[in-house]
Structure 1
Amino acid sequence: MGRYVIRRLLMMIPVFIGTTFLIYYMVYQLGGDPISAMFGDRGADPVFVAQKRAELHLDDSLIVQYWYYLKGLLQGDFGTTLNGIPVADELKRAFPISIRLALVAFAIEVVIGVTAGLIAGLKRGKFADSVVLVVTLVVISIPVFVLGYVLQYFMGLQWGWFPATATPGDPTWEDLILPGIVLGSLSLAFVARLTRTSIVENIRADYVRTATAKGLPRRRVVTVHLLRNSLIPVVTFLGADLGSLMAGAIVTEGIFNVDGVGRLIYLSVTRHESSTVVGAVAALVMIYLVMNLIVDLLYAVLDPRIRYA
């Protein structure tokens, strides 16, 4: 197990460098002058502009710019914004908000998605199964921005179940329930369908029939034997989805005025602040890599037949 973990950690290094370079390259290809974007239509002192360009290495080639950025990144320096604010401070402010939003969405999709998929799998071909399949298909078909505005109007404004928008600055957990529902709705549908398919496949397995023949209670057969083995593909999806929930919340955070990482990335792209974009993406890449490692280790917990030599 230890050698496997070390090998996976070493594999993270080229993945991290390659991913951050691709993001840096794409931001570089957007074009435009970030110094001009900072001042807008106002004139700027040519001496200050030259000093700022030299400080940010904007006159160097892409490889040189990325090298300076990666060198600072490895030292814990994420760079500074065009306004002189350290990118690390921006990430410290935005990431806790997005993490809380992602955890709310993650909890919703796990609890409701797995439960709905389990019921549909056990009731295959019956009314409950049809309801789950139809509802999840409808959720998958509706764009996130449409679902967000609809739920905001009815559940936030008309019925008053949840706050329609988040509190500026530091939203409460209650503020994040409604955007969490919207953010996790698509993943919830996939989790329910994936759980349902896995349950249907494993319910006819030999180990389930053996456990039933031994006279074990049905609840134990379902929870300990059937569900535990059926969750392996679901855990794979959930592990990758946790990073996606934080990175893909641009639309949701915009609708509900949540000042998180998604909003930060969007504003940074429009302002051509490559250091902020790459810094946020670098942190998200690390989350992806760590979550994938945790998912691989969870396989051995869920299925004792899996061992890492």
Structure 2
Amino acid sequence: MGRYVARRLLQMIPVFLGTTFLIYVMVYSLPGDPISALYGDKAADKVFVASKRKELGLDDPLVVQYFNYLKNIVLHWDFGKAFNGQPVWNEMKRVFPISLKLATVAIGFEIVVGVALGVLSGLRRGKFADRIVLVITLLIISIPIFVLGRVIQWTVAIKWDLTKPTVGGEAHWADLMMPGFVLGALAVAFLARVTRTSIVENLRADYIRTATAKGLPRRRVITVHLLRNSMIPMVTLIGTDLGTLMGGAIVTEGIFNVPGVGYTLFQAIRLKEGPTVIGIVTVLVLIFLACSLIVDLLYAVLDPRIRYA
């Protein structure tokens, strides 16, 4: 196990370098001068622009800029400064906890509802409950997230007045329930379908017939034998979803005015705030890599037959 983890960590290094370098090049290769964009429609002061570009190292070649950025992260955990002079790390410390809370709500909703619907559909394969679940999941998948968000916001918050229509700066847990439901709705549909497929496949396995023939209670057969052996594809999907949800859904956070990662990332892209975009994406890459490693390690916990060389 130790060798496997060490090898995976070493494999993450080129993935991290390649991903962050591509993002860095794409962000700073966009047309236009980000310093001049700070002036908006006004004429930019050429002396200030030249001084600011030199201060931020924007006059250096992209490769030199990238390695200076990487060196500051590795040695000092310094993600640079935004064009307004504020450290990018301070902004990330403000927005990532909010997106973590939103992702927690969404992933909790996904696991509870998605797994329950998938198990119900798998155990009732071909029956009325199975068809209802398939229709519901297909309907959710076919609705664009911005349409679902607006409909839920208008119905729950405006018409029924059950909660606030927008979240705002404090982002309490209660305020995040509605955007968390919208953010996790699509993942619920996919998880329910994956769970159903896995349940149906394992119901035909010999160990289920053996457990049933031995006279074990049906609840024990389902919870101990069937669910545990069906969880590998479910864990894979949940692990990738966790990284995606932590990234913050730009559309969902925009609709509900959640000041999280997605909303901040959109604003940084719109204002051409390169350091902020690069800093957030770098942390998101690390989150995705960590989720991928944790999912791989959980495989051996769920299935003792899996061994890591």
TM-score normalized with structure 1 length: 0.97
Counterpart AA for 1:51: S
Question: Does 2:152 align with 1:151?
Answer: yes
In terms of mean alpha carbon deviation, does 182-191 or 63-72 score higher?
A: 63-72
Q: Which residue does the alignment assign to 1:94?
A: 95
- SS of the equivalent of 1:176 reads helix
In terms of mean alpha carbon deviation, does 9-18 or 154-163 score higher?
A: 154-163
Question: Does 2:303 align with 1:303?
Answer: yes
Q: In structure 2, how many angstroms separate the alpha carbons of the residues matched to 1:147 and 1:58?
A: 41
Give, in angstroms, the shift of residue 248 of structure 1.
4.8
Q: Which residue does the alignment assign to 1:81?
A: 82
Q: In structure 2, how many angstroms separate the alpha carbons of the residues matched to 1:36 and 1:78?
A: 22
Contact 1:163 1:178 in 2 (8 A): no
Q: Which residue does the alignment assign to 2:30?
A: 30
Runs of 5+ in structure 2 lacking a partner? none
Give, in angstroms, the shift of residue 47 of structure 1.
3.1
Q: Which residue does the alignment assign to 2:198?
A: 198
How many residues are treated as equivalent by the alignment?
308
Q: CA RMSD in A?
A: 1.1
Q: In structure 2, how many angstroms separate the alpha carbons of the residues matched to 1:176 and 1:199?
A: 32
Q: Which residue does the alignment assign to 1:212?
A: 212
Q: Which residue does the alignment assign to 1:48?
A: 48
Give, in angstroms, the shift of residue 272 of structure 1.
1.2
Give, in angstroms, the shift of residue 42 of structure 1.
3.4
Give, in angstroms, the shift of residue 43 of structure 1.
4.2
Counterpart AA for 2:77: G
Counterpart AA for 2:220: R
Q: Which residue does the alignment assign to 1:186?
A: 186
Question: Does 2:225 align with 1:228?
Answer: no
Give, in angstroms, the shift of residue 13 of structure 1.
0.9
Q: In structure 2, how many angstroms separate the alpha carbons of the residues matched to 1:228 and 1:215?
A: 19
Runs of 5+ in structure 1 lacking a partner? none
Deviations 1:130-150 (CA, angstroms, capped at 9, x unpaired): 010000000000000000000
Q: Which residue does the alignment assign to 1:103?
A: 104
Counterpart AA for 2:25: Y
Question: Does 2:127 align with 1:141?
Answer: no
Contact 1:163 1:174 in 2 (8 A): no
TM-score normalized with structure 2 length: 0.97
In terms of mean alpha carbon deviation, does 71-80 or 118-127 score higher?
A: 71-80
- SS of the equivalent of 1:287 reads helix
Q: In structure 2, how many angstroms separate the alpha carbons of the residues matched to 1:181 and 1:45?
A: 47
Counterpart AA for 2:63: I
Contact 2:95 2:261 in 1 (8 A): yes
Q: Which residue does the alignment assign to 1:255?
A: 255
Deviations 1:208-249 (CA, angstroms, capped at 9, x unpaired): 111111111101100110011111001001101111112251
Q: Which residue does the alignment assign to 1:285?
A: 285
Question: Does 2:62 align with 1:62?
Answer: yes
In terms of mean alpha carbon deviation, does 6-15 or 242-251 score higher?
A: 242-251
Counterpart AA for 2:257: N
Contact 2:96 2:260 in 1 (8 A): yes
Contact 1:101 1:176 in 2 (8 A): yes
Give, in angstroms, the shift of residue 273 of structure 1.
1.4
Counterpart AA for 1:303: D
Q: In structure 2, how many angstroms separate the alpha carbons of the residues matched to 1:178 and 1:145?
A: 14
Give, in angstroms, the shift of residue 160 of structure 1.
2.3
Give, in angstroms, the shift of residue 44 of structure 1.
4.5
